[in-house]
Structure 1
Amino acid sequence: MGKKRGQKYEAIIDAAVKVIAANGYHHSQVSKIAKEASVADGTIYLYFKNKEDILISLFEEKMGQFVQKSKEKLDKEVSIEKKLFMLIEMHLMQLEEDHNLAIVTQLELRQSNKQLRNKINEVLRDYLGLIDSILVDGVKEGVFPASLNARFARQVIFGAIDEVVTNWVMKEHKYELVPLAKPLHDMLLNGLKK
């Protein structure tokens, strides 16, 4: 059985992003999330099992929306180089537009709990699939060499984007993130083509 959806569900997800970004995951009581969402504490449990379920669900929702939007845009583009740039730019743009989400994804989702990490990795699978498809098509079209280790290349691409965003969050958003898409793209593309 799937999760209940609707306005309250969305309100709880959005409230959780704000509360967790402001207080940290461990100091974000369900009651604070409920208050921010303007719902009764008990209402949270109609939609989520516990606080961990809220964290995973908000990542599933936000990442799912991002992957869907990215896939739609990437499917319209032919150039492998432009697809890679678009993916990087959209990733940076989404997080620059939502500082709270950036804090949650870059800091609070990095929990030491192995079960939580495994669930997050499951959610990331579709996003990593977008990178894989760019790499596979790039090899087929001769943009990247046939000898390219796609798995390693995916890790490098994701790791580079992730580190750029984490550094931006750690520096408290003191500069614009999206303008970094071009130099990051150029560096990754030059490395992939060799």
Structure 2
Amino acid sequence: MGKLYEKLTDRLREFISAQPVYFVATAPSQGGHVNVSPKGYADTFTVIDDLTVAYLDLDGSGVETISHLRDNGRITVMFCAFQGPPNIVRLYGTGRVVTPADESFAELLPRFGPHPGVRSIIVVNCERIADSCGFAVPFMAFEEDRSMLDEWAGRKDVQQKRAYRAKNNRESIDGLAGLSAEETDPVTQHS
């Protein structure tokens, strides 16, 4: 059954890197909506060290994760095996939002594959690393990543991306602050 780990072992890193989808969960401090977001593109997730991971935050319709992290920092990232032996790995921790204006952004960006709609990088310091059986998770076959998000972002010019983010990413559905006005400027370089 389940096991706790002091760090991200080689076996856990291998498992994580083999999953084509992962899930991110956050919640505001005071009531509000719990958010769970599926994330695709395996090249948007990286293990930085034994207790630190990061993922590329791409343009989206909402800004819940960014808002919640700025509110309280709490985050859980979950990976499920849909092929092979059953397994679920959860990384519980504290996350921070790294925007293009942050000094560490340029250092982190090359760790990811090329994507045109980069908003930020989410860095997670893991405080609890656990796996569980995953016996009820179904077998599913991975065919390929959907290209729609990258295609959508690739069709937008700088002004269109700025306008989209200003309209959709300034605050969460619960009214928490999301991207500030200066953070809505699109990244000028690809990941």
TM over 0.5: no
> Bigger radius of gyration, 1 or 2?
1
* TM-score normalised to structure 2 length: 0.27
* TM-score normalised to structure 1 length: 0.27
* Larger helix share, 1 or 2: 1
* Larger strand share, 1 or 2: 2
**Higher relative contact order (CA closer than 8 Å, sequence separation 6+):** 2
